[in-house]
Amino acid sequence: MNKLELNEDKVLEVRFVGDDDVLNHILDREGGAKFKKERPQLLVNTKKIIKKPEYDLKEDGIEVLKDKNYVEVLGRDVQESLKNGSATVGGNKVYSFQNRKHPEKMAKLASELAKTPRKNVSYSLKNDPEIMTDIPQCSKGHSPSDEVQLKNNDKSEFISTTRVLRKRLIAPRNHSDSESEYSASNSEDDEEVAQEFEEDTNKAILSPKTQAQNRVVSAPVYKATPSKKMKRDKTSDLVEEYFEAHSSSKVLTSDRTLQKLKKAKLDQQTLRNLLSKVSPSFSAELKQLNQQYEQLFHKWMLQLHLGFNIVLYGLGSKRDLLERFRATMLQDSIHIVINGFFPGISVKSILNSITEEVLDHMGTFRNILDQLDWIINKFKEDSSLELFLLIHNLDSQMLRGDKSQQIIAQLSSLRNIYLIASIDHLNAPLMWDHVKQSLYNWLWYETTTYSPYTEETSYENSLLVKQSGSLPLSSLTHVSRSLTPNARGIFRLLIKYQLDNQDNPSYLGLSFQDFYQQCREAFLVNSDLTLRAQLTEFRDHKLIRTKKGTDGVEYLFIPIDNGTLSEFLEKEEEES
């Protein structure tokens, strides 16, 4: 490929390249690209179907062409394509390379989005299309700070306070970072600085060719004419951009943290309360969508019975939909609902509930495979046996493993086990190779519901959700109630010691000897053997953990956060 050779040449020699040269170079390249585009067209003429080359990521044109071709082949009507979103977008949009992002882009976009008055959305958005395109440059007209300032007049204090806060918080950082910190005062200068910074970093790591390109970016010609910008975007080497974006380990983001904001983390309960106040938007449309899907229930049942299994995909929680399906269609048949999003779920527990609750088998099995074999035999023997499996989130953390999928697939391939499942993760289909797919025998149904994943996300330790600790607290009280007074005393001793030392950063835990001494003084134990016996019980309940210190001494500590512990102590005292 001549392109590659060109690159190599450029790497070898470093020299100054004038702007005109660069422009010429780019135009030249575009010519090359055009030539490339023509080639596949010829191919299309001679032969209808071309196999998609897998590595052809560079050649946008070809991709588009082929997408079009393929879509044409499919010939879906516009009317019915509502069911599948794929008709509208070509693959090149979804799988394109990442541009180098300007750190300020998000705030920019936000203000752009916010700026649009509610009623005449389309009008104002149409006005500045070039802002919305993915060019890593800000347009000159509106600077984010201006926007914000404007908005501050008529809006809540939220933004303004945080802005001020942020200004104050510009921490002393390394040279380059502070340069690019957006102080939101003079956006023009900011632009320049950021650009220069970008160039600086590029100089260090990138080949001279890209440097030249960057020059072009900062050249005034470009700023004046957006059309040229587009051109540059098109012709720039996508592959190189990819590596550019991923080469440096340093990522530019601001250093602000949630702690500085007052309302850092909410717990699950408050979150729910707050969200319940939000009135759902577009409820009429959502209802219509859901009704459409509900009409498919009978078809699903039919197809399940004919040996297919059904998988639902698309944005939005499909739990309610499946629940409705269960309520309307499955009332008279044996079925198992499996919450894949439940953190404690495992294939073992699924198999157990089949053997124990469905087949009423009390025995145990040596391993999962034995159990699977047993189930398969059982279902093969008795053809009147029918079982529906409803799996919410087949692609969850716990079930996505290869072994789990293999086992579920084998179950689903049985004639009298019917599986209907939902997937949500972006890359969920990667779980299945050919063998598993043919075992599953999927029929895909798109059910985009837009409903919030309330249940699905309530378990996971979400980013911003504080762990309330209500669970450990209740289990603590539960365990302590079953203890003897002495044991309770021992435990309380340890808690108090841990709470006393909570500000000590070098606190490791209470060494066993000290602990024994304290317990003896409190008349709780009379020998270290009794203490050890008591501790075993705590250890079994995972209330105590031991660590070996540097001196080889055993240190005891409670692996529960201090807030919960003090709450527990308070409660204890209240009771006694």
Partner 1 sequence: MATSSVSKGCFVFKPNFKKRKISVPIEEYFNEGKNESEDSKLRFETYQVIWQQMKSETEKMQEELNKNLFDSLIKFLQKSHSGFQKNSRDWGCQIKLREIPTAALILGVNVTDHEFTFRSLTEAIQNNVTPYVVKLQARDCPDIKHFLQKLFSQLMDCHVDVESKEEEKDIQKKTHCSMDSLSSWYMNVTQKTDQGKPRKKRTSSQWQSPPVVLILKDMESFTTKVLQDFIIISSQHLHEFPLILIFGIATSPVIIHRLLPHAVSSLLCIEIFQSLSCKEHLTTVIDKLLLTTQFPFNLSEKVLQILTSIFLYYDFSIQNFIKGLQLSLLEHFYSQPLSVLCCNLPEAKRRINFLSDNQCENIRRLPSFRRYVEKQATEKQVALLTNERFLKEETQSLLESLHVYHTNYFLVLRCLHQFTSSLPKYPLGRQIRELYCTCLEKNIWDSEEYASALQLLRMLAKDELMTILQKCFSVLNSSSEKQLGSTAKRIEELLAQLQSLDAEVKEEEDASGSQSKGLQKTDLYHLQKSLLEMKELRRTGKKQTKFEVLREKVVNFIDSLVREYLLPPETQPLYEAVYFTAAHTLHEHLNAAPRLALHTALNNPYYYLKNEVLKSEEGCIPNVAPDICIAYKLHLECSRLINLVDWSEAFATVVTAAEKTDANSVTSEERNDIIHARFIRAVSELELLGFVKPTKRKTDHVARLTWGGC
**Minimum distance from residue 519 beta carbon to partner 1 (Å):** 34
Site for partner 1 contains 455 (CB under 8 A): yes
Site for partner 1 contains 473 (CB under 8 A): no
Site for partner 1 contains 76 (CB under 8 A): yes
**Minimum distance from residue 235 beta carbon to partner 1 (Å):** 18
Site for partner 1 contains 282 (CB under 8 A): yes
**Minimum distance from residue 290 beta carbon to partner 1 (Å):** 11
Distance CA 219, CA 228 (A): 11
**Minimum distance from residue 32 beta carbon to partner 1 (Å):** 23
Distance CA 480, CA 487 (A): 8
Distance CA 164, CA 159 (A): 9
Choosing from 2, 153, 174, 427, the residue that interacts with partner 1 (CB under 8 A) is 427
Q: Please, which of residues 96-135 interact with partner 1 by CB under 8 A?
A: 96-98, 100-101, 103, 105-111, 113-116, 118, 121-122, 125-126, 129, 132-134
Site for partner 1 contains 362 (CB under 8 A): no
Locus of tokens 């001549």: 2
- Which CB, 216 or 271, lies closer to partner 1? 271
Site for partner 1 contains 156 (CB under 8 A): yes
Q: Please, which of residues 23-52 interact with partner 1 by CB under 8 A?
A: 48-49, 51-52
- Which CB, 109 or 221, lies closer to partner 1? 109
Strands 545-548 and 309-313 come out as unpaired
Site for partner 1 contains 61 (CB under 8 A): no
**Minimum distance from residue 564 beta carbon to partner 1 (Å):** 17
Task: Report helix angle 528-540 to 512-521, nearest 10.
Answer: 110
Site for partner 1 contains 14 (CB under 8 A): no
Residues with Cβ < 8 Å from 300, sequence gap 6 or more? 310, 325, 329, 420, 445
| Residue 507-546 contact track with partner 1, rule CB under 8 A, x = bound | ----------------------------------------
- Tallying the residues shown for the chain, one arrives at 576
End-to-end CA distance of the chain: 83
* Helix (H/G/I), strand (E/B), else coil: 204: helix
Adjacent-strand bridge partners of 388: 335, 418
Which of these, 342, 335, 345, lies nearest to 386 by C-alpha position? 335
- Which CB, 418 or 568, lies closer to partner 1? 418
- Number of other CB atoms surrounding residue 550 within 10 Å: 6
Contact call for residues 337 and 326 (beta carbons, < 8 A):
yes
DSSP letters, 560-572, are S-HHHHHHHHHHH
Q: Please, which of residues 383-402 interact with partner 1 by CB under 8 A?
A: 384, 386
| Residue 77-96 contact track with partner 1, rule CB under 8 A, x = bound | x--xxxxxxx-xx-x-xxxx
Choosing from 5, 13, 20, 157, the residue that interacts with partner 1 (CB under 8 A) is 157
Residues with Cβ < 8 Å from 357, sequence gap 6 or more? none
